[in-house]
């Protein structure tokens, strides 16, 4: 075979969105294109079934994929490298996090007694006619 005449293989960068099959992951690749009429930048997403022979990819990983020979009916890409790991694997736990701290148990509040005398009930004045 002529090795100098071979075309370069296409590589893309995307995010793993599903891992439900053996040695296969679904990768979403997002690109931005300019709309031909309105000239607005529009996001376009495309998903690929990608061969993951080592099964190291997890959902959320950023991976570089490369074009390859057909592996199955729909798989024509394979994982070249894992660029970024899932944020839950790269984040370090926060020590003394105030949001996770439980509030201290407050002492029960006792009712406060009032020392003021109760006001006497109002009585109707005689001759006003309210008692009929």
In a domain, 55, yes or no: yes
pLDDT at 7: 76
In a domain, 127, yes or no: no
| Greater model confidence, 73 or 3 | 73
65 vs 47: CA distance, rounded Å: 12
28 vs 10: CA distance, rounded Å: 16
Looking at every residue in the chain, the average pLDDT score rounds to 83
Domain assignment of residue 74, given as a range: 11-90
pLDDT at 74: 95
pLDDT at 101: 63
Give the single-character DSSP code of 109: P
pLDDT at 48: 97
Single pTM value for the model: 0.61
44 vs 41: CA distance, rounded Å: 10
Q: Could you give the number of structural domains in the chain?
A: 1
pLDDT at 22: 94
**Reduced DSSP (H G I as helix, E B as strand, rest coil) percent helix, strand, coil of the chain, to 5:** 5, 35, 60
CA angle, residues 83, 89, 94, in degrees to nearest 5:
130
Task: Tell me the torsion sign for CA atoms 11, 12, 15, 19.
Answer: negative
In a domain, 77, yes or no: yes
In a domain, 80, yes or no: yes
In a domain, 63, yes or no: yes
Phi/psi at 67 (5° precision): -70, 140
Neighbouring residues of 95: CB distance < 8 A, sequence distance ≥ 6: none
pLDDT digits (tens, 9 = 90+) for 72-120: 999 999 999 999 887 666 667 777 767 776 666 666 667 777 676 666 6
- Chain center to CA of 32: 21
In a domain, 28, yes or no: yes
In a domain, 83, yes or no: yes
Task: Residue 73: give its domain's CATH number.
Answer: 2.40.50.140
In a domain, 79, yes or no: yes
């Amino acid at each position: 075979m002529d090795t100098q005449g071979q075309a370069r293989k296409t590589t893309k960068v995307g995010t793993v969105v599903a891992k439900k099959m053996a040695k296969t992951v679904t990768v979403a690749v997002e690109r931005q294109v300019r709309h031909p009429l309105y000239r607005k930048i529009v996001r376009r997403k495309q998903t690929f079934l990608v061969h993951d022979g080592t099964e190291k990819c997890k959902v959320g990983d950023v991976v570089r994929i490369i074009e390859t020979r057909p592996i199955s009916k729909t798989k024509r890409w394979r994982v070249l490298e894992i660029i970024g790991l899932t944020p839950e694997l790269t984040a370090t736990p926060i020590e003394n996090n105030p949001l996770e701290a439980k509030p201290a148990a407050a002492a029960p509040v006792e009712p406060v007694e009032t020392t003021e005398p109760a006001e006497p009930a109002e009585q109707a004045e005689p001759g006003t006619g309210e008692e009929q």
